[in-house]
Amino acid sequence: MGEQTLQTMTWLIPVGPLLTFFLIVLFTKHNRTLSWLLAWAATISSLVLAWTVALNVFAEGYHHLEEHPNVVKSAIDWLPVGDFAQGTWLQMGVAVNPLTAVMLLMVSFAIVMIFVYSVGYHNYGQPRGSHIGEPNHGQEDPLIARFFALMSLFAGAMLLLVVSDNLLMLFIGWEIMGFCSYSLIGFWYAREYHLEPGAIPHIPPRKAAVKAFMTTRIADVVMLLGIVYFYRVFGTLNFADALSAHGLETAVHLVSAGIPGLGLMALLLFTGTVGKSAQWPLHVWLPDAMEGPTPVSATIHAAAMVSAGVFMIIRIFPLIAVGMGPQGSPTVGWVIAGIGSFTALMAATIAVAQYDVKGVLAYSTISQLGFMVAAVGMGAYVAAAFHLITHGFFKALLFLASGSVIHGMEHGAMEVHDHHTDPQDMRYMGGLRHKMPRTFWTFLIGGMALSGLPFITAGFWSKDEIFADAWYQFSHDGSALGLFVFIMLGLAAFLTAFYTMRQISMTFFGQPRTPLAEHAHESSNFMTIPLMGLSIFAVAAGWFGIPDTFLGLDLGKINLFHHYVGSAIYKVMEELHEAHLVHHAIETLPWSWVPLIASLVVALGGLAVGWTLYARKPLQKDQKDPLIGILGPGLHTFLNNKWYWDELYQKVFIAPTVYFSEKIVYEVMDKGIIDGFLHLVAHVFYTIGRYMKRTEELVFGDGVDWVKDQFLAMVKEFRQLQTGKIQEYVVVSMLIASALIAVVLAINYGWITSLF
Amino acid sequence: MNFIQDNLLPLTVFFPALAALIILLVPNDEKNVIRRLALAFSLVPLALTLYMWFQYDRYTANLQFEVMAQWFPAIGSSFHMGLDGISLPMFLLTTILAPLSILASFSIEDKVKMYMVLFLVLEMAMLGLFASLDLIIFFIFWEFGLVPMYFLIRLWGGADREYASFKFMIYTMAGSLGLLLSIQVMGLATGTFDIIQLMDKWVHMEGTHLAGTGLSIELVKNVAFWAFVIAFAIKVPVWPFHTWLPDAHTQAPTAGSMILAGVLLKLGAYGFIRLVIPLFPEQANLTAGILATFGMLSVVLGGFAAFGQWDFKRLVAYSSINHMGFVVMGIAVMAYAYGRAGSFADPGVAQDAIMATNGAVFQMFNHGLSAAGMFFLVGVIYDRAHTRDLKEFGGIWTILPVYGTILIFTSMASLGLPGLNGFVSEFLVVRGSWEIFAPQLAMAMLGLLMTGAYILKAIGQTLHGQVNPRWVKLPDMTLREHLVIWPLMVLMLSLGIWPQWLLVFINDTVTKLFG
């Protein structure tokens, strides 16, 4: 396909969904069917465009791509920032290289699946519900048009972010997604919870929405500093220009930046990822974001928003690599990989003690993102990207499947008229395998991919690649960071397999533990067909990343993912490596048995322990979670309460901020000190004025009164002409006018000059 | 026709005054005639401005539509007006907001004629100020703008209007006093009040002492500089001179707040850009760090104070301090670079200065749109519910779906959401300040964070939550209200997506300043 055609197509990828948002909001919002049809049409055309562009990129072959990674490249002048005759503009543009191409494949497909699913999820075709801004169980949501409008905007923003050729446009998409996540998490803005003791704690969606927006905004304002720093140093925000070998070498030699500067820049930008991809310490928003409708959870937590955070640090990888390279500071790597691996393990420990079926997945998302971040932090560029893609598929699948489970449970609740039992609580499920077979099998596939079930699932191959990188760094370079990451992620992967097995067992195995589960039944085709679509990728996506030297054999160049995605920065990294600015170029690792054995042990071990505890003897009604006995109630409560991060932040940050705003800044500073001072001054003048008035009365007496009377009489006459308090206007204007005239005259006749 | 062509600018400036005179002739009880007439008249300056907009020559980007007439030769003051790429956008902003504010005031029933007359006089004062190129003229318009605003608050304001209007008057007058005296001194010292001439004569004044006195030029310049700075800092307002603003805004009628936030605050910032920095480059350069610090304090403390409010209008009022802080930071970068020897030779610094100044002027325009929109929307809900207490609202989105959506849109522009206008200007200011004022900028990010906090607080308290039965009967927005807000929304979106249609005008003039 011609270059021009590809460029146009790339520009059009985000346009459809973005436009759909406006179309629905302005024109079709009252026609609910047309609204979702429009959203479908837009996302499906984006899918077609995205896949066409991506496949055309791959068709170049990776040898060619290594030399010329940016197959599609087009930019327009957007912001004038200097002499227009010299063409000083900040440009906006699109670029597709192999990395963005894979991302396009995953994002556009997952989004279409989610859009299809959403129609069923909101019970399209059922009688229309009457609860505006609240869930309508079993009835069609009255705000379905608004839902699809916001989802379209969300999808458009994500696609915009992916195709962007510069940091600013990426940031624009990034922030619009932030707004969409806010609006969609708070979609049921009127919902209130009346929690009973022992139930899973929920916060109202509107609060969860604010929490998500504000927590990510903390990171975003820091990231903004990173962006302007980037712009200042490189003189451009374009990835390809700035992050070329030439650009980076020039930046290194700039006095103001230098290598530590680049490290700082990388960390400022990375902060954005910490917020968006929910890494510790800013991970707290993500679990509460589950308050949104489930398709939203899938969009935020799999296909779009959180992936964007990791995608960004992969996109700027050469910068990070130089920042932590031989001449940079190892601190950069430790910070990134440290946060990633700590988050991975911490979130995994929390996930084992959750009862909310979506809550487990939420923490699992945080944990898996930690894997990717840790991979970037130790320089495993391809492994991070690979896990990002496979995770996108299987996590979208898991979220949608869990939504289907909840939908089934809600159906049960409707039939038995029980509106107190939380349909998301796994303790009340059980035995859904036979009630919801399609959901079960697809959930199982997603769960196995998440656990890293060896050889078949995608999750195995991508996790294995991270382990291989970590081990190589330790065994080959003697890097302590490599060993640290290897151990932390190994533990996290073990827990992952364990809690996934626990979740599947509690949900699907055994006998129904409540009438809700008893009466649950399979969701509509709108919901189950997307599950099947995603299942295919949750398995097959991994086959593109089987190592070339798997099991020590020489299999040829079968690791297509590695070669293609690697080619996006292959040349840059090669040149930077020659200039001794980075530790490693993009290289194929030599075979080692250690990581393979490790991933087999943790995945199978975790699954086995989970099986023993939960599947072999399924939970009975009212039976306590066996894990409480094993961990002890203290530790279990600690994990169940998510390490108490929320409570800590409430005490340390939120409450003091409110107090500082309302009491210190407003009442003490503004009302007390500043206004108090002004009132004091006014009081002093007033007092002086009173004494002067008295003096005046004593000294001048009648004379002044006469002037005043005359003046007032004049004013009164004037008042006849006008109504209201016009006299005041006249008084003031006349005073000002006469003062002005006096001054002008004084100057004019040189009176003032003579004073000096 | 030639007369009109040659005098486009003064015609635009004084047309509202003429309109005010005509309206004075209409009988008092013909309220609808007065309203419609005022609206129609206020569209004329807009049309004239648009005409000038398309006539403006971007290539030279210098002062255009210049008018110079004898006015007061004895003291060296002349009637000198002109527009460049900095004042033209301000002109456009004023002429856009004036008709919208008048349309928003159609609900005023009390003393309609006086109200409209004052409004038109106010418009004239603002336009005149942006066009002035002579200090005396500038000062006259400066003071002239005060009086109508005072009465708009005093006569059509809320419960506490006397205190608020008085505070507004005294605060501003306190600043004007020093301004007036300094202007005198400058005129005396150089024999001219012409700003363009002063930029040479006053800045490069020879000798060490002021002619005929024992005062050193250094001292006089410093004193005059601070007098200028304080006058404009009060108007912007820069923390800690800001406490008049929340009171004035809260008490002013809706349209008064729209104009006050939309245009009047810009007079202060405009004063910095047009007068303080060009006339006192050395002093401005030396004190740029202080200015940046106070700008940062406005951003941060304005943000916190806004978050601490429970009165919707007061919250929006404090948000102005927060947003104008970014203008001040951009101005500080301009001050730093403009007066610094060698700035122009250093492409990095010149680039920073161009971006920051572009950002500051653009932010003035953007804040004008979003603040006017926000105040209007607060007015809409206040007209219906007769309360502004955020604690009393809740669930309004369910009752007024259209209003809710519009409020969210406008709030997001105010919040600086990318894709809408505020983001672009904030980005430019942040980019320009990074190298020069990194510590202040880093602190200011805290204020940017609080921007999100208070906007979401306002949305959450009004729109979200269960429906409060008290508000179930509230009617949604009327056609007139739609007509006020839609132009603003279209502008906000267009400037967010395609900012260059406005920014090129600003950029070309600013680039010349540093080129």
Q: Count structural domains, chain A.
A: 1
Cross-chain CB nearest to A221 (options B184, B242, B449): B449
* Dist CA A195 CA B508 (whole Å): 61
CA atoms in the 13 A half-sphere facing the CB of A418: 17
Structure tokens at A3: 């270059």
| Rama region for A204: left / alpha / beta (φ>0; ψ in -120 to 50; rest) | beta
Is the pLDDT at B237 greater than 50, yes or no?
A: yes
Any A CB within 8 A of B301 CB:
yes
Note whether A744 contacts B352, CB cutoff 8 Å. no
Note whether A740 contacts B140, CB cutoff 8 Å. yes
Residue A687 buriedness (CB in 10 A; 0-12 / 13-18 / 19+): exposed
Q: β-strands B77-83, A89-96: how paired? A: unpaired
Which one has a higher pLDDT value, A664 or B258? Answer: B258
The three-class DSSP label of residue A128 is: strand
pLDDT of residue A305: 87
Q: Is residue A471 in some structural domain?
A: no
pLDDT band of residue A696 (cuts 50, 70, 90) is: low
Q: Domain coordinates of chain B in residue numbers? A: 2-513
**Predicted-complex ipTM score:** 0.94
* Dist CA B348 CA B354 (whole Å): 10
Note whether B243 contacts A221, CB cutoff 8 Å. no
User: Is there a contact between A31 and A149 (Cβ–Cβ < 8 Å)?
Assistant: no
Average of per-residue pLDDT across A503-532: 89
Structure tokens at A690: 């009173």
pLDDT of residue B302: 94
Average of per-residue pLDDT across B47-73: 89
Please report residues of B whose CB lies closer than 8 A to that of A224: 427, 430, 445, 448
Note whether B504 contacts A80, CB cutoff 8 Å. yes
Which one has a higher pLDDT value, A281 or A754? Answer: A281
Average of per-residue pLDDT across A592-605: 91
pLDDT of residue B80: 92
* Dist CA A220 CA B303 (whole Å): 17
Please report residues of B whose CB lies closer than 8 A to that of A753: 188, 212
Q: Is residue A523 in some structural domain?
A: no
pLDDT band of residue A716 (cuts 50, 70, 90) is: low
* Dist CA B331 CA B338 (whole Å): 10
Longest dimension (CA), chain B: 75
* Dist CA B342 CA B362 (whole Å): 26
Which one has a higher pLDDT value, B324 or A726? Answer: B324
Q: Is residue A273 in some structural domain?
A: no
Average of per-residue pLDDT across B414-427: 93
Average of per-residue pLDDT across A346-357: 92
Say which amino acid occupies A718: F
Longest dimension (CA), chain A: 116
Say which amino acid occupies A388: L
Determine the length of chain B: 515
* Dist CA B424 CA B419 (whole Å): 8
Q: Tell me, rounded to whole angstroms, the distance of Cα B66 from its chain centroid.
A: 23
Q: Which residues of B386-417 are buried (b: 16+ CB within 10 A; e: fewer)?
A: eebebeebbbbbbbbbebbbbbbbbbbbbbbb
pLDDT band of residue A219 (cuts 50, 70, 90) is: very high
Indicate the pTM of the whole model: 0.92
* Dist CA B254 CA B261 (whole Å): 11
Is the pLDDT at A752 greater than 70, yes or no?
A: no
pLDDT of residue A720: 46
pLDDT of residue A738: 67
Q: How many other CB atoms are found less than 10 A from the CB of residue A255?
A: 6
* Dist CA B256 CA A701 (whole Å): 42
The three-class DSSP label of residue A91 is: strand
pLDDT of residue B369: 95
Average of per-residue pLDDT across A38-52: 94
pLDDT of residue A387: 93
Q: Nearest residue of B to residue A723 by CA position? A: B111
Q: Tell me, rounded to whole angstroms, the distance of Cα A107 from its chain centroid.
A: 14
- The B residues from 476 to 515 touching A (CB cutoff 8 Å) are 498-500, 503-504, 507-508, 511, 515
| Rama region for B62: left / alpha / beta (φ>0; ψ in -120 to 50; rest) | beta
Any B CB within 8 A of A743 CB:
yes
- Range ranked top by mean pLDDT from A571-585, A625-639, B11-25: B11-25
Cross-chain CB nearest to A747 (options B147, B184, B449): B184
Average of per-residue pLDDT across B328-353: 87
Q: Is residue A672 in some structural domain?
A: yes
Is the pLDDT at B459 greater than 60, yes or no?
A: yes
* Dist CA A145 CA A137 (whole Å): 17
Q: Give per-residue pLDDT as tens, A615-662.
A: 888 888 888 888 888 888 888 888 888 899 989 998 989 888 889 888
Q: Is residue A669 in some structural domain?
A: yes
Q: Is the peptide bond before B278 cis (omega within 30 degrees of 0)?
A: no
The mean predicted confidence, pLDDT, of chain A is: 87
Q: Is residue A665 in some structural domain?
A: yes
Q: Nearest residue of A to residue B173 by CA position? A: A736
Q: β-strands A72-80, A89-96: how paired? A: antiparallel
- The A residues from 38 to 77 touching B (CB cutoff 8 Å) are 77
Average of per-residue pLDDT across B206-213: 74
pLDDT of residue A711: 62
pLDDT of residue B28: 85
* Dist CA B34 CA B26 (whole Å): 7
Q: CA of B41, closest CA in chain A: separation in Å?
A: 22
| Rama region for B65: left / alpha / beta (φ>0; ψ in -120 to 50; rest) | left
Determine the length of chain A: 756
Q: Give per-residue pLDDT as tens, A244-286.
A: 888 888 888 875 556 678 889 999 999 999 999 999 899 999 9
Is the pLDDT at A756 greater than 50, yes or no?
A: no
Q: Give per-residue pLDDT as tens, B108-128.
A: 888 899 999 999 999 999 999
Is the pLDDT at A218 greater than 50, yes or no?
A: yes
pLDDT of residue A722: 45
Which one has a higher pLDDT value, A687 or B512? Answer: B512
pLDDT of residue A709: 67
Cross-chain CB nearest to A256 (options B307, B397, B435): B435
Residue A397 buriedness (CB in 10 A; 0-12 / 13-18 / 19+): buried
Please report residues of B whose CB lies closer than 8 A to that of A131: none
Is the pLDDT at A172 greater than 90, yes or no?
A: yes
* Dist CA B309 CA B246 (whole Å): 11
* Dist CA B258 CA B373 (whole Å): 7
Note whether A722 contacts B114, CB cutoff 8 Å. yes
Is the pLDDT at B360 greater than 90, yes or no?
A: yes
User: Is there a contact between A727 and B163 (Cβ–Cβ < 8 Å)?
Assistant: no
R_g of chain A, CA atoms, integer Å: 32
* Dist CA A736 CA A129 (whole Å): 65
pLDDT of residue A710: 63
Structure tokens at B433: 């300040």
Nearest to B205 by CA among B229, B216, B213: B216
Is the pLDDT at A502 greater than 60, yes or no?
A: yes
Which secondary structure element, helix H or strand E, spans residue B27, and what is its range? none
Give CA angle at B511 (B508, B513), nearest 5°: 115
pLDDT of residue A492: 94
SS (H, E, C) B175-205: HHHHHHHHHHHHHHHHCCCEHHHHHHHCCCC
User: Could you tell me where the DSSP H helices lie in A316-356?
Assistant: 317-323, 330-351
Domain housing A679: 648-699
Range in A82-86, A385-389, A395-399 the model is least confident about: A82-86
Note whether A729 contacts B397, CB cutoff 8 Å. no
Is the pLDDT at A149 greater than 90, yes or no?
A: yes
Note whether A81 contacts B507, CB cutoff 8 Å. yes
Q: Give per-residue pLDDT as tens, A317-328.
A: 999 999 888 888
* Dist CA A157 CA A280 (whole Å): 25
pLDDT of residue B43: 95
Q: Which residue has the tokens 């490069």?
A: B204
Q: β-strands A89-96, B64-72: how paired? A: unpaired
Q: What is the DSSP letter of B469?
A: G
Range in A200-204, A369-373, B378-382 the model is least confident about: A200-204
Q: How many other CB atoms are found less than 10 A from the CB of residue A356?
A: 22
pLDDT of residue A304: 83
Q: Is residue A678 in some structural domain?
A: yes
Average of per-residue pLDDT across B32-60: 92
**Which of A164, A185, A666, A753 should be substituted to probe chain B, the one whose Cβ sees the most B Cβ atoms within 10 Å?**
A666
Q: Tell me, rounded to whole angstroms, the distance of Cα B137 from its chain centroid.
A: 19
Q: How many other CB atoms are found less than 10 A from the CB of residue A335?
A: 18
Is the pLDDT at B133 greater than 60, yes or no?
A: yes
pLDDT band of residue A724 (cuts 50, 70, 90) is: very low
Say which amino acid occupies B268: G
Q: Give per-residue pLDDT as tens, B275-317.
A: 999 999 989 999 999 999 999 999 999 999 999 999 999 999 9
